Amino acid sequence: MDEKPLWTFEEISDATGAGVQASGNVSGVSIDSRSLKPGDLFVAIKGERFDGHKFVEAAFGKGAAAAIVASDYDMSSAGVCFQVPDTLEALNALARASRARTSARIVAVTGSVGKTGTKEMLRLMLSTAGATHASEKSYNNLWGVPLSLARMPRESRFGVFEIGMNHAGEIAPLARMVRPHTAIVTWVAPVHIEFFASVAEIADAKAEIFEGLEQGGAAILPVDNEQFDRLVARAAGKHVGIFAFGEHSSADARLVSFEARESGSRVSADVLGTKVPFVLGVPGRHLALNAIAALGAVKLSGVSVEDAAAVLERFEAPEGRGRRQKFETPQGAVLIIDETYNANPASMRAALSVLGATPRNDHARRIAVLGDMLELGHAAPQFHEELESAIDSNDIDLVFCSGPLMAYLYGQLPANKRGGSASSPEELSPVLLDAVRGGDAIMVKGSLGSRMGLLAEGLRSHFSMVPAAEHARKAG
């Protein structure tokens, strides 16, 4: 049986208001000609740095079935084009049409930390009960959300969408587009605080997700967070159910017990009255709590909590968000924990806690390689300095720092914990590679703009390529 098309030309025309005489279908939607697949609809988005119209010909060259372009685009040498006044608004219109035609149960996830991991847990668990569509990567902004929604197959039974923000007012229109049945706020912390007067204002911005909740829907909120009451107050007027998750005895989805392991966690939870033990395939108490929030959404979506929890043992951390890799050397296994996608004070402390839980009998030294946390405003030096307590409480042996902000932390550290400090990853790399050895557990983390991925990749290459004899020489 032939697979149903994602969109017909007629449906695209109806959704966007662009009249096209041709008939045909598209199998996907893309805004990047580099990753476009044959049969896709290419949407030429005009952004701050790139204008997609420059790549329309390349898109057709790669097999695009059609393109959405601006009204003034010269189509003389192009393929089938839908001309519209505003291509981003046309993508939004396609997204709204996608939401209107589906009968899927929709879950939306926002929060200062943990959005992508929670979204991926939901994707994995809901897939046990039916066809599940979810945002790719961290497609959570003004173009990522409508793109993800426009890509949702009409026959999906479940949809999971991540919604993020840098400024107030960004989540509300995206939430109204997604119209979730269940909304999760993972946590509220001083992330992007440069653009807000207080953490309370960040809570208000996250609470915008309630603006799109379907009537009779549900909000799942972090009871252990200082902003919990503020979130509850914002959700209370929306005629939705409010459910708390966390460790507090009042939580509707509650962590009952937690056992840390190097490669995962053993967890017992009470999820809206269902007692469920499970193994989570990644370590970290904060991730176990996010899994419990996700299980709450699973139950509210009508899916067996027991069946869903059973697959969490297979869960793997998304790339750059705690992905773990081991390398064997004569002196012991080297563990590299890649946390380089992003960083803020809350996620940095959580990552240091995971590193601190690494068993001493498996790894001789716990090493933190830290890059600047960005968008923290005038309080940035203080936020960095305050990480010293997390270094100490988690028994981290050695710290390497990259960037001018992390230099504030480095200055707070005792001499025996100072591994090296530099202004950039490139400058720090040789110092780090010369210091690491077999038996180390190494966690690399920083904001995306601090480019700590260069150091994580350098470590992987180092332990992949250096012969065992060289490891032995350096360790001796």
Residue 1: per-residue pLDDT? 38
- Percent of the chain exceeding pLDDT 90 equals 86
CA atoms of 174 and 188, how far apart (whole Å) = 19
Instruction: Dig out the tokens for 254 from the structure.
Output: 């509650």
Residue type for 372, please?
D
Segment 276-335, tens digit of pLDDT: 999 999 999 999 999 999 999 999 999 999 999 999 999 999 889 999 999 988 888 899
What is the chain's mean pLDDT, rounded?
Answer: 93
Give the model's pLDDT for residue 378.
93
Query: Does residue 474 carry a pLDDT above 60?
Result: no
Confidence of residue 193 (pLDDT cuts 50, 70, 90): confident
Q: What 8-state DSSP symbol labels residue 331?
A: T
Mean pLDDT in residue range 361-383: 92
Report the interhelical angle of 9-16 vs 87-101 (nearest 10°): 110
pLDDT number for residue 465: 57
Radius of gyration of the chain (CA): 24
Kindly indicate the confidence band of residue 384, based on its pLDDT and cuts at 50, 70 and 90: very high
What is the reported pLDDT for 469? 39
Query: What would the mean pLDDT of 440-454 be, rounded to a whole number?
Result: 96
Angle at 88 between CA 69 and CA 148, to 5 degrees: 110
pLDDT in tens, 417-444: 999 999 999 999 999 999 999 999 999 9
Residue whose C-alpha is closest to residue 365's, from 462, 262, 458, 438: 438
pLDDT score for 2: 52
Tell me: the pLDDT tens digits for 2-50? 578 999 999 999 999 998 878 999 999 999 999 999 999 999 999 888 8
Segments of 319-392 assigned E as strands: 323-327, 334-339, 365-371
Q: Are 306 and 271 in contact (CB under 8 A)?
A: no
